[in-house]
Amino acid sequence: MNNLDQIKNPYLPSWEYIPDGEPYVFGDRVYVYGSHDKFNGDVYCMLDYVCYSAPVDNLADWRYEGVIFRKDQDPANGDLQGNLYAPAVTVGPDGRYYLYYVLSSHGIVSVAVCDKPAGAYEFLGYVHYEDGTCLGNAPTDEPQFDPAVLTEGDRTYLYTGFCGVGDKSRHGAMATVLGPDMLTIIEAPVFVAPGEPYSHGTGFEGHAFFEGPSIRKKGDTYFFIYSSQLFHELAYATSKNPTSGFTYQGVLVSNGDLNIDTYKPAEKPMCYCANNHGSMVQIGDDWYIFYHRHTNGTNYSRQGCFEKLTERADGLFDQAEITSCCGVKPLRGEGEYPTYLACHLFSPYDVTYIPWSGWMDDRFQKITQEGGDGDENLGYIANMRPGTSAGFKYFDCKNITRVSVTGKGYATGEVEVRTAWDGEVIGTIPVGYANVWKTTTVDMRIPDGVNALYFSFAGQGYWQFKSFTLHVQ
């Protein structure tokens, strides 16, 4: 059965690494702009900007739009030491599309422009004061980082900032107002959300601003989305004014499903976390939150995901649960599914964060791929040790009578299948030593209904888990 037309996380091909996703609807398509990680990369954002888009009525049909801006196009990056950090896009009063970004080697905001949303963009200039001083270079400025933009009429609101935990030299997220040329400052920066050292008594305690600002407007309310001091979560604040009065409202998503206590303890991470960055967007009548996950056992090979948000009666949103189906519609309970779709991946070691050193020792599992960066090879789960579990949510199960797993490795034991991370075993599949991918099928009845599926390795050695197949009568 062909499963390609289903909406799945990650929503882009498994060999594509586009974190920091900023989604926008232009016309009848949704466009996602992000930074561009490298498979097996050793720092963040090593590659040029690319863009993907999809019809607003088919979020399973993502189209590669190609390279839209190269890092050698910025005049300040002649030595190519600056990587293209997280970008944002807005439509100016002239109807053109403006791309805002910061190079990793410079604390100023660069701007590129194009007549079409998917590029290719051409360098325009740097955000500056009326005297020509670049934002970030004035004596009272803080370094610029992670721009977000929203244009209303002739005014463009630019949000930037970074503030690490305990770093009193930075204060939080800033808002700056630009004029109709999209470059010149007409209102100097003001702080709109506090960093951790300055969050006491503000209502942001425990979820203070860290990085990754984003801005959206819903009705007459501005939604300021950001990565909090906890790194793994995207929190949000709201205001009726774009440059003041923001009130903390909660968390939209965590890339470890932390805070959620509906199916597990709230503090239990369901996969290894690290930083997060993304934003929300309205597509049709529904709102979605775009975020990223971490693969390959490092911080530097991140992939974009999204979830459908649940809107409350007060117009705010509950935290979305991370899923393999984007929270939209359960996947069909039939056919073969690659394991890179795992939304949960955990071991007996309750570790919240990927080590910042950029490596994980052999106790830990990871989603990875064969080959090098750019090779179009499906991802899989490597290094499943005894007690390791991979979880997939959700499937519309009916009349499933057999289950297959495909794997290889120096492993002897069995794969236990459950419908809850801590549930009863409903069946087991024997696995053994294999040099090449080997498929094993057993009779197994999966309960009818919408279910999660968890596959846990029990035995000795380590096992590489490529895919599983659900067979119906």
- Name 432's Cβ contacts closer than 8 Å, sequence gap at least 6: 411, 412
pLDDT at 1: 36
pLDDT at 359: 56
Judgement on whether residues 160 and 75 belong to the same structural domain of the protein:
yes
**Residue 263 placed within a domain:** yes
Of 51, 17, 9, nearest to 372 by C-alpha is 17
pLDDT at 349: 83
**Residue 35 placed within a domain:** yes
Burial class (CB in 10 A: 0-12, 13-18, 19+), 110: buried
Judgement on whether residues 336 and 276 belong to the same structural domain of the protein:
no
Angstrom distance (rounded) from CA 95 to CA 433: 60
Angstrom distance (rounded) from CA 84 to CA 53: 20
Rounded mean pLDDT, 68-75:
98
- Cα angle 459, 464, 469 (rounded to 5 degrees) comes to 95
Domain boundary among 261, 276, 308: 308
Judgement on whether residues 177 and 257 belong to the same structural domain of the protein:
yes
Domain holding 464: CATH number? Answer: 2.60.120.260
**pLDDT of 198 above 60:** yes
Please state the pTM of the whole predicted model.
0.97
Q: Using one digit for the tens of pLDDT, what is the confidence trace for 345-402?
A: 999 888 899 876 555 666 689 999 999 999 999 999 999 999 999 999 999 999 999 9
pLDDT at 3: 58
Domain boundary among 276, 308, 340: 308
Judgement on whether residues 88 and 231 belong to the same structural domain of the protein:
yes
Judgement on whether residues 378 and 295 belong to the same structural domain of the protein:
no
In single-letter form, the type of residue at position 124 comes to L
Judgement on whether residues 66 and 121 belong to the same structural domain of the protein:
yes
**Residue 414 placed within a domain:** yes
Of 3, 1, 43, 2, nearest to 19 by C-alpha is 43
Of 4, 5, 3, 10, nearest to 324 by C-alpha is 10
pLDDT at 261: 97
**Residue 168 placed within a domain:** yes
Angstrom distance (rounded) from CA 93 to CA 151: 8
**Residue 324 placed within a domain:** no
* Range(s) of the domain holding residue 420: 332-472
Q: How far apart are the first and last CA of the chain?
A: 14
pLDDT at 350: 82
**Residue 317 placed within a domain:** no
pLDDT at 358: 53
Q: Using one digit for the tens of pLDDT, what is the confidence trace for 216-257?
A: 999 999 999 999 999 999 999 999 999 999 999 999 999 999
Judgement on whether residues 278 and 369 belong to the same structural domain of the protein:
no
Judgement on whether residues 129 and 55 belong to the same structural domain of the protein:
yes
Domain boundary among 256, 275, 308: 308
Domain holding 168: CATH number? Answer: 2.115.10.20
Judgement on whether residues 85 and 221 belong to the same structural domain of the protein:
yes
Judgement on whether residues 394 and 283 belong to the same structural domain of the protein:
no
Judgement on whether residues 375 and 293 belong to the same structural domain of the protein:
no
pLDDT at 361: 64
Q: Write out the catalytic residue numbers.
A: 20, 211
Tally of domains within the chain: 2
**Residue 13 placed within a domain:** no
Share of the chain above pLDDT 70, in %: 97
Judgement on whether residues 347 and 282 belong to the same structural domain of the protein:
no
Beta carbons of 400 and 392 less than 8 angstroms apart: no
**pLDDT of 2 above 50:** no
Rounded mean pLDDT, 34-53:
97
pLDDT at 449: 98
Beta carbons of 379 and 340 less than 8 angstroms apart: yes
**Residue 173 placed within a domain:** yes
